[in-house]
Amino acid sequence: MVAELIHIGFGNILAMNRVIAIASPNSAPTKRTIQQGKKNGQLIDMTNGRRTKAVIFTDSGHVILAALAPETITGRTQTVRGGSVLRPELGDEKDEP
């Protein structure tokens, strides 16, 4: 399996093939998950002291905090893959004349 590495700011790199979900940090359940990850030693803070804009959940149970917005991270994934994650219906329009 090839690891798809994405730059998520401040020299931090994320293996996208290990990511399950990317969420906004504003909801109460996400905030509780962050606190639980901190308590269990599974929180990775990649914000470099900036405001957290995305919370990334991995298949290993780690919770990663990022200073980039979820849309920015998925957009960078799209640049690598050459498609559209946020609006997959746009990918079908390329084939039409």
User: Alpha-carbon distance 7 to 15, whole Å?
Assistant: 9
* Tokens of residue 69, six digits: 């917005």
pLDDT at 83: 60
For residue 90, pLDDT beyond 80: no
For residue 92, pLDDT beyond 60: no
What is 7-29 written as a DSSP string? E-STT-EEEGGGEEEEE-TTSHH
Alpha-carbon Rg for the chain, nearest whole angstrom, is 15
The string of pLDDT tens digits covering residues 39-88 is: 999 999 999 999 999 999 999 999 999 999 999 999 988 877 776 544 44
Q: Are 84 and 78 in contact (CB under 8 A)?
A: yes
Domain ranges of the chain: 14-84
Q: How many CB atoms lie within 10 A of CB 66?
A: 26
- Residue indicated by tokens 């269990």: 40
User: Alpha-carbon distance 43 to 88, whole Å?
Assistant: 31
pLDDT at 79: 76
The string of pLDDT tens digits covering residues 6-45 is: 999 999 999 999 999 999 999 999 999 999 999 999 999 9
pLDDT at 2: 81
Q: How many CB atoms lie within 10 A of CB 67?
A: 19
